[in-house]
Structure 1
């Protein structure tokens, strides 16, 4: 089980697919609101930008944060050439989160970027993409 977020180059959350058993839900706490997710995505975008600037070796460049690991949580980030970020939240025991991100990126290219009605940097509302991502994450 995993959760996929797509963050545009300005830091806005343009897609979210939740297939993750968050611990706060089991304790009866309220679910996160859409505004909470927007704040989390913006914060992660900022951390990613800061991490790309903090490079200890002079003359070296960084793509930014790629993996963040916490107890029972793994966050993988794939930065595309256009500045779009694919964020995968999963359990630390997930067998291959990198492959899931690559597959999600291919689905994005095939279903979103080739859609003549999609406007870049706007929220993604494409049913075939939703179904493919849901199947990928479950």
Structure 2
């Protein structure tokens, strides 16, 4: 399974989409409950803030960008406005950072340019859902 999450600058989960991809489905990855996703999003927000502060180079001022574990990879794309896009995927997913960049571009085009969207609020835009499904789901 692949998941795209968007976390606002306060650490709240404003978007979550889960997509089954063949490699993850074969591994039997169980989906997270809504409560587990909220807790994990807040935790990852805190980890990102901590890693940004302890970054010895401080050149980019960013924190966590990639976390690899047994059977998963977590890629993070932080924006200048404090929004974080997270892609949780199987290590076999090809070119995950490029997919995350495409999701960010879709967020900028379809969410932030939408006159009916309020910043920092949950994202409920069907066209964005469709675009994310194309990017992450591989459709």
**CA contact 2:8–2:120 (8 Å) conserved in 1:** yes
Q: Does the CA-based 8 Å contact 1:52-1:61 persist in structure 2?
A: no
Residue matched to 1:34? 34
Structure 1 residue 39, shift from structure 2 partner: 0.4
Query: Which stretch of structure 1 is more off in the superposition, 16-25 or 125-134?
Result: 16-25
How far apart are 1:60 and its partner, in Å?
5.5
The offset of 1:61, in angstroms, is 5.9
TM-score, L = length of structure 1: 0.88
SS of the aligned residue for 1:9 comes to coil
Q: Counterpart in 1 of 2:95?
A: 96
The answer as to whether partners of 1:77 and 1:85 remain within 8 angstroms in 2 is yes
- Aligned positions, number: 132
TM-align CA RMSD? 1.7
- Provide structure 2 residue ranges, at least 5 long, that are not aligned to the other structure: none
Q: Which sections of structure 1, spanning at least 5 residues, go unmatched? A: 26-30
Map 1:44-55 → 2, pairs under 5 A: 44-55=44-55
Within-5 A mapping of 1:8-87: 8-20=8-20, 21=25, 23=28, 25=30, 31-56=31-56, 62-87=61-86
* CA distance, structure 1, for counterparts of residue 116 and residue 59 of structure 2: 40
Aligned to 2:7: 7
Q: TM-score, normalised by structure 2?
A: 0.87
Q: Shift in Å at residue 23 of structure 1?
A: 3.6
